[in-house]
Each structure stands twice: as C-alpha cells, then as structure tokens.
Amino acid sequence: MIDLVLINSPIQRYSESYRPDYRTTAPLGLGYLGTIARKAGIETLLIDAEAEKLSVGEIARKVNALSPKSVGINMSSTNYQISLEILDEIDAPHKMVGGAHASLCGEEVASLRPDLLVVKGEAENIIVDVVRSQKTGLLNAGKVTELDAFPFIDRTLFINDPCLEGTS
C-alpha cells in the first residue's frame, strides 16, 4: 500500500476517442509536495492525468490499483467538477484538494464535501502533517515565506520532464 498519490488533474474530459496531441509541462507545485512528502518518509507517487490525457475512469482505476492511504488532487475553477468526480471514484480513506479553486472557493467546496480536506494556500507548509493525521475540513495553509528551505524537486516524480528525457 502506498501512502500518498498526488494527481495532476486533467484540464478537460479525455476518453479513448478524444486525446488531443499536445505536450504539457511538469506540475511543479505537486512535484514540491511529493518531494517534501518523500523526504519525510511518506511513500509518494504522482499521476499526471493531464500529460497522459486520462479519463476519469482511467485515473480512478490507476489510483485504486495502488490502494493509497491518502490522495491529493489539484483543481482549478475550469476543472473543479472533474476533480470532484475523480475523487468520487477513488476508494482511498483520505482525500485532499488544493490549487487555485480550493484557495479561492474553499469554503464552498468544504461545505459541499465535508469528507475532504480542502487546502487553501500553499500546502508545502502542511503536507506531511495532513497526510499523517488524515485531517478533513477546511485548512488555511498560508503562504510560503522561505523558498530556500524547500528541497530540490525530485524530478523522478514526473513522466514528462524535459530534464529527464533521454536519460533512461
């Protein structure tokens, strides 16, 4: 059983018949969270559903096969419904959302989904604690004030990192 799966949510609905051909960049914010969690001894995997153009069902099957204790997903205002649908299909006991929509509309999301942890602000400050404690509700993580305290990103978390291309 893996401790934490982080999901870079798709920005649109993909299916076997609809997977447009374009490249994306690595999700650096989730990369920082994954790196911080790994350095704290939390076994972490990142699924980049946007880079892989995965459907809701494909994401859920992939995550559920890992039986994670915690799942975190980013959400923007344009895809927050998709992010919630993904979480509805995942069997993990602890589910978290963060990102722009959670920061801007966290109270609304938390009131609609009391089963989730809704993180407003920058989760780098709290990721280890919330994974270990399995908190739910609304949490204001605040802002990062000391960037130099962050470790270099573990780029092996990414499937589409140009820094790693040609190294395997």
Is residue 102 a contact partner of residue 138, using CB atoms and an 8 Å limit? no
Q: Which of 102, 79, 69, 113 is nearest to 8 (CA)?
A: 79
For 93-139, the pLDDT digits (tens) are 999 999 999 999 999 999 999 999 999 999 998 999 999 999 999 99
Q: Would you report the helix, strand and coil content of the chain in percent, each value rounded to 5?
A: 40, 20, 40
pLDDT for residue 163 is more than 90: no
Whether the model clears a pTM of 0.85, i.e. scores above it, the answer is yes
Q: Which amino acid, residue 20?
A: P
Fold of 4-157: Rossmann fold (3.40.50)
Residue type for 51, please?
A
What is the token pair recorded at 45?
A: 């995997």
Rounded to whole angstroms, the Cα distance separating 138 from 116 reads 8
